[in-house]
Chain A
């Protein structure tokens, strides 16, 4: 038996799940897809006393559009996000990011909310949430709140989630007219943890200049990184290869990645510089398609 002993509960409602999380506090862990948690259990790096399995909770398994937002509830698996006609049509950036999470077997089981709650610095969705100005919907006995990525992701594998709180959905705003987004990453093989990734959002005004740009990077620190200086470079300018190259140069100065066994800081900085124009070009090309 690989994991240490634990007790297991499979509540049928979100209220029951929260009740369990409140009762057991720090001793409890939420089990969703298990693709990040179970390796930690098998290696005994985590030894929670109670697992609260949310797979039997009724509902929370369909991506829905509501009043200008797309909600991805907590039981939605990556494969659903990858194939969702709604996401593919209205927020293709989310589908293309999810497609790059792990391998097919992992995407069949892992959940999008679970990936966000795990907060691996090499994970795709935190950066996409940041670039799209999305929210993490968190429920507890005190009610529901919608948290910004900036407030939610604290550092490596650490979020603002408190005992008794449960991520019940991700909320993505639908893109306004004249805006688009794209995601690119570099991993040594498909499915490997990415060394660096970029989510880019562009919003043009009627004259064709960039009214707002948002750039979020993954793999260059403990949390998704918002490249504010490069965003400022883009703002008020017309999209062009030269402008995107300037933004990339700014990003490579702006990020401060760590070296680890997978890549040196210098290499991650280089990847950021290479990926920024790719993401921006892709977003810009999508704007062209809409016209």
Chain B
């Protein structure tokens, strides 16, 4: 019989880099990313699958990292918000669109929104506003009122389709 274990040594590839650690079975993927990988861009809000702040990509699909155990991600690929920007710090077009559209205030929820948007626009590069709004229902923001987030996602889609050039950061 398969013998159940309380701890295991696992290797998870996060943003292209392998991380190995011995973890308790009960450690969530979110806690693994923050505590074992030091990647604190993934935020934890509700920790029961409602707020979407902890959204990451697991094997290319957006999931709530508070509802997946790290041990389940052994041998798999995870992408976090830290994997969005270029190595030289140039923002990803989605991040740039969020910045320019003022789609964040306190920013606690932002990494979750960014990862949800990243996965969404890969599958649907030209979404309607209704589709954007429906997708964003899985993420809660208590500051913005969502209007600018919706605008930012539409703007990011246009940038990723090559219809709009990203403005350089800084200036005014």
A residues in contact (CB < 8 Å) with B: 1-12, 16, 19-20, 23-24, 31, 34-35, 38-39, 41-43, 50-53, 55, 79, 102-106, 108-109, 189-192
Contact = CB atoms under 8 A, between A and B. Distances in A.
Contacts of B71: 8, 10
Contacts of B6: 5-8
Interface in B59-79: 61-64, 66-69, 71-72
Contacts of A19: 1-2
B85 interface: no
A16 B68 contact: no
A6 B26 contact: yes
Interface stretch (B86-94, B130-138, B149-157): B130-138
Q: Which of A31, A108, A189, A192 has the most CB of B within 10 A?
A: A108
B24 interface: yes
Given A6-B6, A16-B2, A105-B62, 5 more contacts: A6-B25, A7-B25, A9-B2, A39-B49, A103-B138
Contact of A23 (B1, B49, B64, B138): B1
A103 B25 contact: no
Given A1-B27, A108-B61, A9 B49 contact: no
Nearest to A11: B2
Interface residues of B, number: 36
A109 B26 CA distance: 18
Contacts of B169: none
Contacts of B63: 105, 108-109
A42 B66 contact: yes
Closest 7 CB pairs of A and B: A103-B138, A7-B4, A8-B25, A39-B48, A9-B4, A108-B61, A38-B67
Nearest to A4: B26
A191 B136 CA distance: 10
A39 to B, nearest CB: 4
A105 B25 contact: no
A20 B4 contact: yes
B116 interface: yes
Nearest to B31: A1
A16 B1 contact: yes
A78 to B, nearest CB: 11
Nearest to A40: B48
Nearest to A109: B63
A79 B134 contact: no
Contacts of B106: none
B28 interface: yes
